[in-house]
Amino acid sequence: MAGTKKRVWWGDYRTTEYATVDPEATIAVLPLAAIEQHGPHLPVSTDTSIMNGMLETVIARLPGDLDIRILPVQAVGKSNEHLHAPGTLTLPATTLVEAWTELGLSVARAGVRKLIVVNSHGGNEEIMGIVTRELRVRAKMLAVKTSWQRFGRPAGMYTDLEDRHGIHGGDVETSLMLHFRPDLVDMAKADNFVSKVARAEKEFSLLRHTGTHAFAWIASDLNPNGVVGDASIATAEKGRLTAEHQADGFISLLKDVRKAKLADWLA
C-alpha cells in the first residue's frame, strides 16, 4: 500500500534497532547531489533540491513492505567543472571516494548489506562507480549505482534535441525545479541555451563532449552561460510527471534489490 508512514530515514532509528535488521530485506540509500551553478535562472542548490524532491516523491509512493533507510543527502560533490561560476562548492575526487566509501562501510557495520547509491549530479558518476566497487570488495555488499535520469522520462514529453543535449539546466531540470521549488526559479531569465554538442555532431564522426568518445569539459565549454537545453519551455506539469515516472522506476529497482539474494549474486 502506497503512502506509508513507516520510518525511512537512517537517523530516525535507534541504535538498538539496527541489531535486528534483515540483511536480505533492508536497503540503505545513499543520495549524492551537488551545490553548483545552474545558469542565470536556477539556484546553485538545484541538484540538491531535485534530490530532496525526488526522495519525497519516492517516500509518498513507497509500498509499505519495503524497508529502506535513507542516509543524509550528500549535498557537496565533485563540481570542479563549474568552478568558473561563483557559488559552486566542490570537493576533491579523492576526498569524496574516501568519505562515501566510509559511509558505506558504516552501513555494513550496522548489518545492512544492500545499498543503492542514487545520484542527481553528472559530475559524481565516476566516483559513484569507484565507491560501489570498493564496497563490494571490502564489505561484500550488494552495492548498486544509479541516477534519477537513468530511469528516463515520460515518452514524448521532451524534444529529441533536449533528450540529447539538455544535460544541465535545460527543460528537464527547470521543469523539475518548477515542480519542487518554483520560488527559486526565475523564468524571466530562462532561455534556450544551445549546446556546442550539436556542432560537434556535425563536424566530427566520433568525437563528442559526452558519450562513448568524449573529451573532458567544463560547463562553459558547452555554453557561455554554463547551462545547456531549452529552459524557456519548462513547465511544472512536466516536472511533476517526470518526477513520478522516475520515482516509480526507482521503486522498481528497490524491489529488484530486495528480491536479489546475497548468496546468489555475490561470490
Q: Tell me the per-residue pLDDT of 198-251, one tens digit each, with 9 for 90 and over.
A: 899 999 999 988 889 999 999 999 999 999 999 999 999 999 999 999 999 999
Closest Cα partner for 198 from 160, 234, 171, 154? 160
Give this prediction's pTM: 0.95
Domain-located, residue 264: no
Domain count for the chain, please give it. 1
For residue 266, the 8-state DSSP code is -
Domain of residue 249: give its range: 10-258
Q: Tens digit of pLDDT for each residue in 49-98?
A: 999 999 999 999 999 999 999 999 999 999 999 999 999 999 999 999 99
Which run of H or of E encompasses 116? strand 114-119
Ordered alpha helix ranges (H), the chain: 46-61, 93-109, 125-139, 160-165, 171-180, 197-203, 219-222, 236-259, 262-265
Domain-located, residue 267: no
Residue showing cell 541489531: 19
Determine the Cα–Cα distance for residues 13 and 157; give it in Å rounded to an integer.
Answer: 40
Take residue 266 and report the three cell numbers written for it.
555475490
Domain-located, residue 178: yes
Q: What is the pLDDT of residue 4?
A: 45
Q: What is the pLDDT of residue 15?
A: 98
Domain-located, residue 5: no
Determine the Cα–Cα distance for residues 15 and 234; give it in Å rounded to an integer.
Answer: 44
CATH code at position 99: 3.40.50.10310
Q: Tens digit of pLDDT for each residue in 148-161?
A: 999 999 999 999 98
If phi > 0 it is left, if psi is from -120 to 50 it is alpha, else beta; for residue 121 that is beta
Q: What is the pLDDT of residue 6?
A: 86
